Structure 1
Amino acid sequence: MVYKSKIGLELSIPLVVVFGGSSVLMVLGDAWPGLLVMLPPLAFIVHMFFTTYYTIDGNILKVNCGFTKQTVDIKTIRKISDDMNWISAPALSLDRLELFFSTYDSVVVSPKDKIGFVKELLTIKPDIELNLKKINLNT
């Protein structure tokens, strides 16, 4: 099953304001070289928005974000918690879940369908500890 990343306004609006406002100012000021310099970072950000998703395939969780990919054996996930941290993560929203696996590893994700995502993980490994205050799995 594929879960798209939730796109949060708290991350997308500042990007639109900064890149949009800078682009307008550069066009009005005939600063075309500056506009060309902004295109690669903008292309990278757009690429990330279209390629951030999470796939559950058997017992494997595949986390895709831009050019980075990570796989996690779902059987090693021991805990899922809410996360609102600003630290960089393969998530397009601050409404996140942190999945703790192995001994000291974790990955932060922001699936649009958090309830379906967590329920599917629980069908594969029912003894995952849940520390979720924002979602109710009984709905």
Structure 2
Amino acid sequence: MRKVFPSKVDVSLLILFVITSIPAILIGIKEKDWVLFAILIAVFVLIMYLLYDTYYVVTQGTLKVHSGFIVNKNIPIESIILIRKSDSILSAPASSLTDRIEVCYGDSKSIVISPKDRMIFVDELLKQNLEINVDL
């Protein structure tokens, strides 16, 4: 059993990245600063890659959180204590700013994620650990 849950991607987040990137890219072109232009394009591509390469995999006994080459965390499902709604805007392997949940596990560890199908995701975890408290 292996279920993959893509991260929800906020359109507002995409618009924010595009709007903030365009002026800098245009300055690089106008000033004919091709090094700056190349760096800005690379950063833009990296951000887009991270937004779309963020997903969560539920397998037998493990929740895998993946975000590009930056986050690749395996969490034993039996160690998950609580899943709750989160309004945190801190950096996290979540491509949404509005529909985030915090998964608390182990000895006071947690991770903020944003599965697109949140309730189906939570149900999959509950199938393996009925002890998880859910506060959504």
Length-normalised TM-score, structure 2: 0.89
Matches within 5 A, 1:86-101: 86-94=89-97, 95-101=99-105
Counterpart residue number, 1:116? 120
SS in 2 for 1:15: helix
Q: Deviations over 1:90-137 (max 9, x none)?
A: 0010210100001210111100000110111111111211111xxxxx
Counterpart residue number, 2:74? 71
Counterpart residue number, 2:131? 127
SS in 1 for 2:94: coil
Matches within 5 A, 1:1-139: 1-67=3-69, 68-94=71-97, 95-132=99-136
Shift of 1:29: 4.0
Counterpart residue number, 1:137? none
Length-normalised TM-score, structure 1: 0.87
Q: 2 CA distance for matches of 1:40 and 1:12?
A: 16
SS in 2 for 1:70: strand
Q: Tell me, yes or no, if the aligned pair for 2:80 and 2:132 is still in contact at 8 Å.
A: yes
Q: Deviations over 1:8-50 (max 9, x none)?
A: 1342221110112322343244333321121332232122123
Q: 1 CA distance for matches of 2:125 and 2:47?
A: 29
SS in 2 for 1:53: strand
Unmatched segments (≥5 aa) in structure 2: none
Q: 2 CA distance for matches of 1:16 and 1:87?
A: 20
Supply the RMSD in Å over aligned alpha carbons: 1.4
> Which stretch of structure 1 is more off in the superposition, 38-47 or 99-108?
38-47
Q: 2 CA distance for matches of 1:65 and 1:117?
A: 17
Count of aligned positions: 132
